[in-house]
Amino acid sequence: MAAYGKYRYQNVAGWTLSAIGIGLMSMLKAESSVGEWVGFQLIEGVGVGILFAATTFPILAALPISETAHALALFTFIRTFSQASLFIMIW
C-alpha cells in the first residue's frame, strides 16, 4: 500500500500466489521431496499472508476518517475471534 498508493496490486499478487501455491500443492504425492512440500507451502503462505493484510484498506476506504478506528477494531476483533473459534473446533 505504501509503495503504490493502491491496494489492488497487493490483492492481485496475493490471489496469484495463492492460486499457484494451491495448484502446486495438488501435485504433491507421498514420495514428494521435502523441498517440494516446503517450497509449495511457502508460496501459498506468502499469498495468503498478502491477502490477510490487504483486506484492511478496502474495508476502510468507504468510511469517513472519524469512523476508521472503530471499523478497524471491529474488523480485527471479528477476524481474530473467528480464527480462534476455528482453531478450537479443529482441535
Q: What's the domain count of the chain?
A: 2
Residues 46 and 4 placed together within one structural domain of the fold: yes
Residues 9 and 26 placed together within one structural domain of the fold: yes
pLDDT at res. 56: 79
Residues 47 and 87 placed together within one structural domain of the fold: no
What is the tens place of the pLDDT at every residue in 27-48? 999 999 999 989 999 999 999 8
pLDDT at res. 76: 87
Q: What percent of the chain has pLDDT over 90?
A: 41
Give the domain extent around 38: 1-54
- Give the confidence band of 3 by pLDDT, cuts at 50, 70, 90: low
Residues 46 and 73 placed together within one structural domain of the fold: no
3-state secondary structure 29-45: CCCCCHHHHHHHHHHHH
Residues 50 and 76 placed together within one structural domain of the fold: no
Query: What residue spans of the chain are helical by DSSP H?
Result: 8-25, 34-54, 56-61, 68-90
Give yes or no for a contact between 16 and 44, defined as CB atoms under 8 angstroms apart.
no
And the C-alpha cell for 66?
472519524
Residues 35 and 79 placed together within one structural domain of the fold: no
